[in-house]
Amino acid sequence: MVIAGGSSISNNTAFLGGGLDAAGHANVTITGGSRVDGNTATIGGGVLAAGNASVTINGCSRVHGNRADKRGGGVAVVIGGQVTILNSTVYDNTAGLGGGLFAGYARQLTITNSSVHDNLAEYSGGVYANDSKLTITSSSVHGNTAQLIGGGVVANGTAAVTITRSSVHSNTARVSGGGMRVEEKARVSVEDGTLLSNNTARDAGGGLQALHTVHVTLTGGSRVYGNRAGTGGRVWAGWDAQVITMS
C-alpha cells in the first residue's frame, strides 16, 4: 500500500493504531508530503507496525499531533515490526511512554535525515527502544520533554542503539536523563561527530544517564557538552554501567 501525493490520515480513533495499523506481512509507504495527524489510540497514536509488518515514512511526510494513552504517540513498532523514517518529521505527539516513537521487541526502527522534536511523554519524550534495534543517522532529536525520565532517547532492556552524525539536543527530563537514558542491558554506540548538547534534567544526567549493566561508547569526535542537571550535568553513571569515550 502506498499513501502519497500529500494525502492525510487525520482525526481517527482506535484502540491500536489510531491512524494506521499495519499487521501481519503488510508493507506500507507514506510518502510525497503526506501527513498523519490528530489521531488517537492506546498504542500507536498515529501509526502502529506489528508482527512482520513494514512501514516506511518518507518524502517530507509528517507525523504530528497524535496521542497514545500508553505507548508511541506518533509511531509504535512492536513484536517484530519494522519502521523507517526517512527525510520526514515526527513532532508534537504525546504518550505515556515514547512521545514521538516507541519500539518494543521491534525488528528495526530506523531514523535517517529526519527530525523528532517537541514530543511529550511521561517517560521518554522523543524515542524509546526496548529490546529493539534502533538506528539514528544524520537526524535531530530535539525539544522533547519527559515528565519523568529520558527527555530525548531511552534505551532499555537489551536494546541495541547506534546514533551516527546526529544531534540529541535541547531535550528536558523533569527527573533524570535529559538527553539520553540507557538502562538494564542496553548497548549504545554514539558515533561520527554526534552531539549530545544543551539537554536538561532536574536530578541526574543532563546529557546522558547510564545505569545497571549498560555499555555506552562515544567515538569519532562525538561530544557531550552544555548539558545541565542537579548531579552529573554531562554524564551520570551508576551501578555497573560502562561509559567509554574514544577519539
Q: In what order do the strands lie in the sheet with 82-86?
A: 2-3, 27-30, 54-57, 82-86, 108-112, 133-137, 160-164, 187-191, 215-218, 242-245
Q: Which residues of the chain have pLDDT under 50?
A: none
Q: What is the DSSP string of 54-72?
A: EEEE-SS-EEES-EEEEE-
Residue 163's pLDDT is 98
Q: What is the pLDDT of residue 177?
A: 98
pLDDT at 247: 57
pLDDT at 244: 87
Which uninterrupted H or E stretch holds 89? strand 89-91
Give pTM, 2 decimals: 0.97
For residues 68 and 45, the answer to whether their CB atoms sit within 8 Å is yes
Give the C-alpha separation, 223 to 197, whole Å: 8
